[in-house]
């Protein structure tokens, strides 16, 4: 089973997070300007989840369009 980026984008934020928890692979985590950024690999694409660390709310969970962003996140991440 594989979900494409286009199919993934049809879901709401909550459903995207559920998809990542269910089928995604955690890659790394970092904090930028009071926002937690968690990177996941879902099938053959990457997703950045941006979380408001004060309110504990998910602000977005969008696919990352370019590989350079992924490399950047990996370099600055805590894990």
Q: Which is nearer to another protein, 20 or 30 (CB)?
A: 20
CA–CA dist 17, 9 (Å, integer): 12
Q: How far is the CB of 79 from another protein (least distance, A)?
A: 24
* DSSP secondary structure code for residue 56 in this structure: T
The pattern of x and - marking residues 2 through 31 that bind another protein according to CB under 8 A reads xx---x--xxx-xx--xx--xx--------
Given a contact cutoff of 8 angstroms between Cβ atoms, the answer to whether 57 and 13 are in contact is: no
Q: Smallest Cα–Cα separation from 47: which of 76, 1, 7?
A: 7
Q: Which is nearer to another protein, 8 or 46 (CB)?
A: 8
Query: Would you count residue 37 as binding another protein (CB under 8 A)?
Result: no
């Amino acid at each position: 089973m594989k979900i494409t980026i286009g199919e993934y984008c049809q879901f709401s934020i909550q459903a995207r997070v559920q998809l990542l928890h269910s089928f995604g692979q955690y890659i790394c985590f970092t904090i930028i300007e009071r926002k937690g950024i968690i990177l996941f690999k879902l099938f053959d694409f990457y997703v950045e989840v941006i979380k408001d660390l004060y309110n504990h709310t998910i602000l977005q969970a969008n696919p990352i369009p370019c590989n350079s962003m992924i490399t950047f996140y990996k370099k600055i991440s805590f894990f």
